[in-house]
Amino acid sequence: HPLHPFLVSLPKTEHHMHLEGSLSPELLFRLSAKNNIPLPSPETDPAFSSVESLYERYSSFTSLDDFLHYYYIGFTVLVHESDFEELAYAYLSTQSREANLRHAEVFFDPQVHIARGISIETIVSGWESALQKVQKEGVDISAQLIPCFLRHLDVKDSERCLSLLLSGGFFKPPNPAEEKPSSRRLEGIGLCSTELDKPPSTWAHIFTTAKQAGITNTTAHAGEEGPAEYITAALDDLHVTRIDHGVSAADDENLMDRLAKEQVLVTVCPVSNVRLRVKQKLEQVPLRRFMEKGVRFSLNSDDPAYFGGYLQSVYCAVQEVFGFTVAQWAVIARNGVEGSWCGEERKRVLM
């Protein structure tokens, strides 16, 4: 494509990538062996016969929950701080070099790790080491880690997790006198996992408590498999400042107007939507509607190791189908910076 070199060099932000979703089958098998964590036997699930058969299985997910089954098996092999560091380093280092990624906001799911006896500290420390290592190598990248509460577990589990996050001081600046944007270990919270029959309102008190504790950056997966009403509920009941996926918004004209008026950033994951059969084809992801309506969106990879590609391949797939102009790509890039949680100083550098 004639715009290919431009699309590669375009400075990028990514706001919707799950750290555990960057665990490749190769690393899954390697960590399983290293940490002595058995995977399901090939007799129980033939997908675990080899790296190739696992990739094959990943290419035919039938729904969000079908994917989540494999995604949470992947978690089991992540044990040591160095495992999380390796995962984070591979993502930050590769994407900054290959896709000119300049700012990343990366999700993780603490509840599933806590249940296995892995502390939040282990994950966050591994992440911080990876980011420092990449920055020391001279890469100009900023990045934040964002814990997501999980909807497939009882909400009481989210309450316990929030208590641990707050008592662990993860949302406090290390030195209160020096508080500036991006000085906290974790900069916001999210909500993800199973969506159908899990209305956002169930998590309202979690988000209220978080807000009272000074957490102002909040987002939620909404309108992926779920209806437009769940997006409205995320805005009204959780008071989130961002919406993850949000593709169902296109079914509700009033909601589209509201998203545009309130300049809510929608973190769209077009390739993920096709892989999880939220949409049959990339063409059906409502990027053109969003663009025409002035609904701000960023493009994201979601779970790149499971969905066949990282951020650059998402940009290329979108360009192939939507054929955006250079001016339209500039709008997408600018909205991504505007909607980031990196603070005004960093935004000026990124603009």
Binding site for ligand HPA (CB under 6 A): 18, 21, 64, 71, 192-193, 221, 224, 272, 302-303
Give the whole-angstrom CA distance, residue 124 versus residue 51: 28
* The entry of ligand HPA, Zn ion, none that residue 64 binds, CB within 5 to 8 Å by partner kind: ligand HPA
Residue closer to ligand HPA by CB (options 10, 192) is 192
Give the whole-angstrom CA distance, residue 98 versus residue 100: 6
Minimum CB distance to ligand HPA, residue 302 (Å): 5
Minimum CB distance to ligand HPA, residue 350 (Å): 25
Is there a contact between 16 and 192 (Cβ–Cβ < 8 Å)?
no
Give the whole-angstrom CA distance, residue 242 versus residue 148: 13
* The entry of Zn ion, ligand HPA, none that residue 237 binds, CB within 5 to 8 Å by partner kind: none
Tell whether 302 is in a known binding site.
Answer: yes
Residue closer to ligand HPA by CB (options 73, 331) is 73
Q: Which of 14, 86, 224, 225 is an active site residue? A: 224
Minimum CB distance to ligand HPA, residue 276 (Å): 7
Minimum CB distance to ligand HPA, residue 316 (Å): 20
Q: What is the dihedral of CA 313, 267, 118, 144, to 10 degrees?
A: 90
Task: Please choose, from the candidates 267, 265, 325, 272, the residue with its C-alpha nearest in 3D space to the C-alpha of residue 299.
Answer: 267
Residue closer to Zn ion by CB (options 86, 302) is 302
Binding site for Zn ion (CB under 5 A): 302
Closest-by-Cβ residue to ligand HPA is 192
Residue closer to ligand HPA by CB (options 78, 134) is 78
Indicate if 224 belongs to the active site: yes
Tell whether 16 is in a known binding site.
Answer: yes
Q: Which residues are annotated as a binding site for substrate?
A: 303
Residues annotated catalytic, as ranges: 224
